[in-house]
């Protein structure tokens, strides 16, 4: 069986615009858009591109939800409720582990690639 290759540049997916729920918003007006270039396993695996205007909001990842991010443009700060604060800029790559709770702050306009994986409990 031949492997499938998915090139983001050849995707016909349309961007979806959204913003944090009002009760999660902390500052700014972080308008966001995402283009899911790849979806598999009943939405348990997503890959695409995300864009966001400056602002901050509370985030809470599900117990089975992991996200890989590679910042293409901009500067973000993530503050873990457990204490650590990390900043990432263009060229940086990182993973947000399942169950992460804290604050996502987009310091300057940001663009990133993401892969979100929901692993079955086991």
Q: Is the pLDDT of residue 2 over 80?
A: no
Q: Are 98 and 58 in contact (CB under 8 A)?
A: no
**Per-residue pLDDT tens digits for 55-93:** 999 999 999 999 999 999 999 999 999 989 999 999 999
Tell me if the domain spanning 22-118 has CATH number 3.40.50.1950. Answer: no
pLDDT of residue 42: 86
CA distance 100 to 117: 14
Question: pLDDT-derived band of residue 117, with 50, 70 and 90 as boundaries?
Answer: very high
**Per-residue pLDDT tens digits for 10-50:** 889 999 999 999 999 999 999 999 999 999 988 899 999 99
Q: Are 118 and 75 in contact (CB under 8 A)?
A: no
Q: Is the pLDDT of residue 107 over 80?
A: yes
Q: Is the pLDDT of residue 6 over 90?
A: no
Q: Is the pLDDT of residue 1 over 90?
A: no
Higher pLDDT, 3 or 78: 78
Extents of the domains making up the chain: 22-118
């Amino acid at each position: 069986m031949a492997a499938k290759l998915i090139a983001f540049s050849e995707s016909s997916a349309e961007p979806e615009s959204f913003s944090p729920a009002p009760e999660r918003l902390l500052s700014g007006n972080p308008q966001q858009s995402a283009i899911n270039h790849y979806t598999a396993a009943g939405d348990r695996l997503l890959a695409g591109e995300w864009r966001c205007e400056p602002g901050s909001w509370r985030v809470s990842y599900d117990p089975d939800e992991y996200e890989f991010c590679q910042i293409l443009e901009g500067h973000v700060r993530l503050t873990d409720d457990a204490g650590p604060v990390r900043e990432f800029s263009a060229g940086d790559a990182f993973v947000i582990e399942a169950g992460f709770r804290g604050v996502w702050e987009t310091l300057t306009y940001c663009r990133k690639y993401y892969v979100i994986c929901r692993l079955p409990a086991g």
